[in-house]
Structure 1
Amino acid sequence: MPYVQADNTGGLEKKVTVHTLKKMRGNEKFAMVSLYDAPMAAMAQKCSVEAVLIGDSLGMTVLGYDSVIPVTMEQMIYHVEAVARGNDKSLIISDLPFMTYATPEQALVNATRIMQAGAHMVKLEGSAWLVETVRMLTERGIPVCAHIGLTPQSVHKFGGFRVQGREQERADTLVEDTKLFCEAGADLLLVECVPAWLGTEITKASTIPVVGIGAGNETDAQVLVINDILGLTPQPPKFSKNFLEETGNIAGALQKYRDDVKSGQFPSSEHQFT
């Protein structure tokens, strides 16, 4: 029996919680979509998408910036509130934007604002330096998704959107970061743009659900940006797929994405890095 049941309209029957996703780990894959407004949030709920992410990717997909760096807390709060109005069943996760969690104290203030706007969890990008912050937030009742691998807020440090972890030393660091975040109390781990073999190693090393984006097919879940699912990105990344092209309508595209994630058909080898 699936862990997430549909109601008589085909949508989510019950509210998806952190506990739900943890029970699914190792038993049933789940789907996450990064989206930014009430209509799309409502569509995701209708298509039984277990988790939605208000990513700071909205800077590029909605606001026209060339990176996520300019995105502000006010912009994130605005979109979190919109998504929360459109969806009362999926788990709602929100990024904290660039330089709003440089210290644990700053993170606590801004995570509080995001949670009060309607999020159920905050997502933070980083490595070992972030462990103290994750521990502080989780001890105070704020669920955290830690984001490792390619972290878009560090794009200028990386010198562009580059696959991470191809070198053994970097791969070992990402596996170690995974263990540190699990020990610090993180509830989810998101890993972006790493070789498929490393996505598998990270998932094995983790004690919490691992969400992949360009991290292979062995993670516990997948996330894609709604613009990529609907073919709205002019130069889509390798790990994405236009599901609208196959289905012809938005609901069908979201449903096909969720179904293919849960069955393991997506991502296929053409959407993975080596």
Structure 2
Amino acid sequence: MKYAICNETFEGWDHARVCYAVSSLGYTGLEVAPFTLAPLITDVSAARRGELRRQAEAAGVTIIGLHWLLAKTSGFYLNTPDADVRQKTGDYLAALAQATADLGGNLMVLGSPLQRNLLAGTTREAADDFTLDTLGRTLPTLEKTGVTICLEPLGPVETNYLNTAAHAVALMAKLGHPNVKLHLDVKAMSAEDAPIPDVIRANAGHTFHFHANDPNRRGPGFGDTDFKPIFRALKDAEYDGWVSVEVFDYAPDPETIARESIRYMRECEP
């Protein structure tokens, strides 16, 4: 397994300090939330992007990509009927893809539930068309940079749109582009009708990235979820991407979360 962890776990820490800390704990990848760098990714200069990449590499860590792409922003929306907003959103996703490449990564996780809830009067079918239109505007930059955008199904507690892996795969099929893939998240999959290992196996070949966490919003091993069958399913699916720890509850502290999560995951490896 290739283990990464999301940088917002280390809230308030300097980037270089985060990189050395996660490296010392056994992680080789770091996943970055853009809002930890600046209000907008376009505010991060080329020089600063280069510096962030060099700091990670000096610590023995790869910045694998970005997530929380639209979090803490305004004016962007994935599936709005407003064509101007879709253009603006597509342009910003393209800017995020360029930043991902500049930082040394090759993936972006499209979660951002607040920027994709169905708007009043918009059907799911219409929202699908609007989503595909927005994503279509990013494709030239994805191709140029070699970055893959990963659609992240999320449970109905978080959003009322794109709740299942099957819906994400259907969107991918309509778009038909190799740089648009599936992201799976343990917490989110807990809301699916099928058991988590079955969802993983059913989507072998579609999944490009994976988040490890517990439905209680904490790290792997900090709740009741047994990761042994989950990791067995990943192996059965021949998944060779990153397993990235993403938490939403930062107690007791970042180092304990990071240390105990990777210890538990290694115990669960088949």
Question: How does the TM-score come out when normalised to structure 2?
Answer: 0.53
Equivalent residue number for residue 41 of structure 2 = 73
Name the counterpart of 2:5.
Answer: 33
- Say whether the 8 Å CA contact 1:149–1:165 is kept in structure 2: yes
Identity of aligned residues (%): 7
Q: What amino acid maps onto 2:94 in structure 1? A: L
Counterpart residue number, 2:101: 115
In 2, Cα distance between equivalents of 1:202 and 1:180: 20
Note the C-alpha offset of 1:146. 0.8
Q: 1:223 aligns with which of 244, 254, 260?
A: 244
- Which residue of 250, 262, 266 maps to 1:262? 266
User: Residue 110 of structure 2 aligns with which residue?
Assistant: 125
The alpha carbon displacement at 1:41 in A equals 1.5
Q: Could you say what secondary structure the match of 1:49 adopts?
A: coil
> Which residue identity lines up with residue 4 of structure 2 in the other structure?
M
Q: Where does residue 26 of structure 2 map in the other structure?
A: 48
**SS of aligned partner of 1:140:** helix
**Partners of 1:30 and 1:262 within 8 A in 2:** no
The equivalent of 2:200 in structure 1 is: 203
1:53, distance to aligned residue in structure 2 (A): 0.9
Q: Which residue among 130, 146, 149 is the counterpart of 2:150?
A: 146
**CA-to-aligned-CA distance 1:160-181 (integer Å, 9 cap, x gap):** 6369887xxx553134346668
1:90 is aligned to 61
Counterparts of 2:91 and 2:136, CA distance in 1: 10
Q: Conserved in 2, the CA contact under 8 Å of 1:52 and 1:90? A: yes
What do the CA deviations read for 1:8-60 (whole angstroms, capped 9, x no partner)?
A: xxxxxxxxxxxxxxxxxxxxx3322111522011211222313211124649x
> Corresponding residue for 2:158?
161
Instruction: Give the counterpart letter for 2:66 in structure 1.
Output: S
Unaligned runs of 5+ in 1: 1-28, 64-70, 152-157, 233-243, 245-249, 266-274
Distance 1:82 1:226 in 2: 26
8 Å CA contact retained: 2:189, 2:196: yes
d(CA) in 1 for partners of 2:174, 2:198: 15
1:208-260 CA-to-partner distances (Å, cap 9, x unmatched) read: 4440345774255543347746525xxxxxxxxxxx7xxxxx3x653332232
TM-aligned CA deviation for residue 182 of structure 1 = 8.2
Amino acid aligned to 1:189? H
Q: How many residues align?
A: 199
Q: CA deviation at 1:187?
A: 6.6
TM-score by length of 1: 0.53
